[in-house]
Structure 1
Amino acid sequence: MTYQGVLTKMETEFSTPIQYYLVFENDFINLNQLLDKTIAIQFVGYQCLNCKLNKQIYRQGFCKSCFFDIPQAADWIMHPELSTAHLGKEDRDLEYEKRVQLQPHIVYLANSSNIKVGVTRKSQVPTRWIDQGAHEAIEIVEVPNRYLAGITEVALKDHVADKTNWRTMLKNEIVDENLVDWRDRLKPYIPEEVLDYFIANNEETNIEFPVLKYPEKPISLNLVKTPNYQGVLKGIKGQYLIFEDGTVFNIRSNEGFVIALSVM
């Protein structure tokens, strides 16, 4: 059976283990059901997630002209401390920015390859943790806007990482940590204006991924260089498909690519 469509990040369902779905315009696939099956991926073309045109993807699933124009790709997306909607100041589209920035946000600790600090909208918990391949996570503060979350993340980055080592995450070279202790240790570094939003009595969330075999030396699949790939699916973690030969495919970083996916 062959499916064709434009890649967007896998949808997830929080269960044990996580359920993964690849959603196309007219089809969706429960990828957990494809474990131990041979699948083929063929690069067909591009479709910008904004303008829908067959234009080369620049970043985040958008063509270059859209990336530098639309609010969904503005700097405050990756750097929440740059948010200005709470001041009524427009970056690219104030209405959009108010809708996204002026809602509850969570600053969290997640353990995927190491302890890292991150920011997400409250509505994206635990999806954000799943997408990062974190096997455990905990909320630190819940604030009413993205700016306050951003300045908290910046303050904590001096004391804990803010990046995931994707190779370590995929090899499952992980160490369980006491995230409650980490949360309490980091409290003194939270900005004074955010301290009232500190979450004191929660427990960590644990996440189990559907992986039959972890790769010893993960090799990232580049569809431009390798437009046809075939392998046995052995696992799904974060936004990666893991294959028996050690190949891994990051769905998120290939958003906007049109593929044909065949199940053998």
Structure 2
Amino acid sequence: MQYEGVLTKMQTEPGSPIQYYLVFNDSFIHMNQLLGQSFEINFTGYQCLNCGKKKKIWRQGFCYDCFYSSPAVGDWIMRPELSTAHLGVADRDLEYESRVQLQPHVVYLACSSDMKVGVTRKTQVPTRWIDQGASAAIPLVEVPNRYLAGITEVALKDHYSDKINWKKMLTNEVTQFDLVAMRNSAQSLLPAETTEFFETTPEHLYILNYPVLQYPKKISSLNLSTTPNYSGMLTGIKGQYLIFEDGTVLNVRSYEGFTVRITV
């Protein structure tokens, strides 16, 4: 059976294990059902996720022009502390930025490879942690806008990393922490503007279980631009990565906007 379409990040459903889906315009693949099976993926072209044109992808699924014009990829996306919608100040499009920035955001601690701190919209809990391959996560504060979440993350970066070692995450070399204890110790590190939100944020520990038959000892990343045709046996899915029996891994998120043909 063949499936064709534009890659976007896999959609997920919480469960034990988490359920993964590759969704195209007119079809979808329940990836968990392919575990233990071989399939082939062929890179066939590009389609910008913003303008829909068949133009080479620059970053994050967008062509060059869209990447530098769309409000969906402004600097405040990666650096929440740069958010300005709460001041009524636009970066690229105030209506869009207000819709995204002026809603509840969660600052959290998670175990993905080591301890990390991060920010997500409340509506993206627990999806954000699944996409990062976290084995466990706990909310630290829930604040009313992205700016407050951003300055909280900046304050905590002096004590916790905001990066993931993806190789350790995919080989399951994950350091485990007592996240409840870490959450409590982090209270004293919060900026004055967000301390009031600590006590109102539920102390809810999330444990995440991924569909992995076997973790690889060594991994190599599949680059669809240089290796447009690949086939292998799927042995696991974690974060937004497909893990194959030979240690090859494909970061689906990195190839958003690539058109592919998958043969099962």
- Show the 5 A alignment for 1:152-191: 152-191=152-191
Aligned to 2:51: 51
1:203, distance to aligned residue in structure 2 (A): 3.1
Deviation string, structure 1 residues 125-162 (Cα, Å, up to 9, x no partner)? 00000000001000000000000000000000000010
Aligned to 1:242: 243
Aligned to 1:229: 230
Aligned to 1:205: 206
The SS at the match of 2:139 is strand
Aligned to 2:87: 87
Is 1:258 aligned to residue 250 of structure 2? no
| TM-score normalised according to structure 1 size | 0.98
Provide the rounded CA distance (Å) in 1 between the counterparts of 2:254 and 2:140: 28
Provide the rounded CA distance (Å) in 2 between the counterparts of 1:135 and 1:27: 30
1:109, distance to aligned residue in structure 2 (A): 0.6
Deviation string, structure 1 residues 23-63 (Cα, Å, up to 9, x no partner)? 00000110000001101010000000001111111111000
| TM-score normalised according to structure 2 size | 0.98
Provide the rounded CA distance (Å) in 1 between the counterparts of 2:85 and 2:210: 36
Aligned residues: 263
Is 1:30 aligned to residue 39 of structure 2? no
Residues 116 and 162, structure 2, Cα contact 8 Å, conserved in 1: yes
1:177, distance to aligned residue in structure 2 (A): 1.0
The SS at the match of 2:215 is coil
1:185, distance to aligned residue in structure 2 (A): 1.2
Counterpart residue type for residue 141 of structure 1: V
1:201, distance to aligned residue in structure 2 (A): 5.2
Counterpart residue type for residue 20 of structure 1: Y
Provide the rounded CA distance (Å) in 2 between the counterparts of 1:57 and 1:214: 31
Is 1:103 aligned to residue 103 of structure 2? yes
Residues 139 and 202, structure 2, Cα contact 8 Å, conserved in 1: no
Alignment identity in percent? 63
Residues 114 and 176, structure 2, Cα contact 8 Å, conserved in 1: no
Residues 106 and 122, structure 2, Cα contact 8 Å, conserved in 1: yes
Provide the rounded CA distance (Å) in 2 between the counterparts of 1:259 and 1:180: 42
1:175, distance to aligned residue in structure 2 (A): 2.5
Aligned to 2:126: 126
Give the aligned CA root-mean-square deviation in angstroms: 0.8
Deviates more, 1:197-206 or 1:69-78: 197-206
1:84, distance to aligned residue in structure 2 (A): 0.1
